[in-house]
Amino acid sequence: MNATTITIGECRLSYCNVFQPQAPANNPQAEPKFSVTVLVPKSNTAAKAAMDAAVNAAIEGGVTSKWNGVRPPMPSICIHDGDGTRPSDGQPFGAECKGCWVFTASCKADRPPFVVDGQVQKIINPAEVYSGCWGNVNVTFFPYNSAGKKGIGCGLNGVQKTRDGDPLGSRVTAEEAFSAVTPAQAAAPAWGMAPAQPAAPWGMAPGQQAAQGWPNA
């Protein structure tokens, strides 16, 4: 890996779109991408140091590759303080972001990220990776110069789920939604439904009584 590509360990994942590319909710006409929002606890000082080093390496590379030899005085950086406000609207970050560094990593629809478990086996079931679970992410910080805006973005290479966590948002568990069903309950008709009627013989309307014996020739 080069200096701009790092693996960040034990971070919380949010807005997980790692199996199906999606356009941003606030811009549905935009290009669909794979993405995940990463919450890095501020207590993980080693991760923050690695992130800072990768961002600085991306800035140095951007001077020659994107910014015509001139370093921007204040390039926009994709990493934000979860105890502050969102740059998009000036509103506070959600409660789940408190005490964390926050950034979103994404990649194009034709370059899906790898998604693996703790044994580096591919995860097939999308329900396994949800907002609130914990994992490691491999990302690449890169410079950009777009529509006059100069800064550092973050590309998503892959996600490794390490453990479950409290789901974020309105996600419910099966235990919260349902109770166990006994055989007697399973046989009873659901509330508000009439008991099923026996099926009519083939070719007869429901409720029509079948004639006795064989029909006359």
Query: pLDDT (tens digit, 9 = 90+) per residue, 45-68?
Result: 999 999 999 999 999 999 999 999
Q: What's the pLDDT tens digit per position in 125-151?
A: 999 999 999 999 999 999 999 988 999
Res 212: pLDDT: 43
Distance CA 146, CA 120 (A): 36
Would you give the DSSP letter of residue 188?
S
Q: How far is CA 95 from CA 74, 92, 137, in A?
A: 28, 9, 22
Q: How far apart are CA 36 and CA 66, in angstroms?
A: 25
Q: Which of 160, 113, 140 lies closest to 9 in space, CA to CA?
A: 160
| Two tokens, residue 172 | 């419910």
pTM: 0.77
Closest CA to 50 of 156, 114, 139: 139
Residue 24 confidence (pLDDT): 83
Give the model confidence (pLDDT) of 154-173 as tens digits: 999 999 999 999 999 755 55
Of 126, 8, 145, residue with least CA distance to 76? 145
pLDDT above 70 coverage of the chain, percent = 78
Structure tokens at 149: 């805006």
Map out the domains of the chain with their CATH numbers: 5-163 (2.40.50.140)
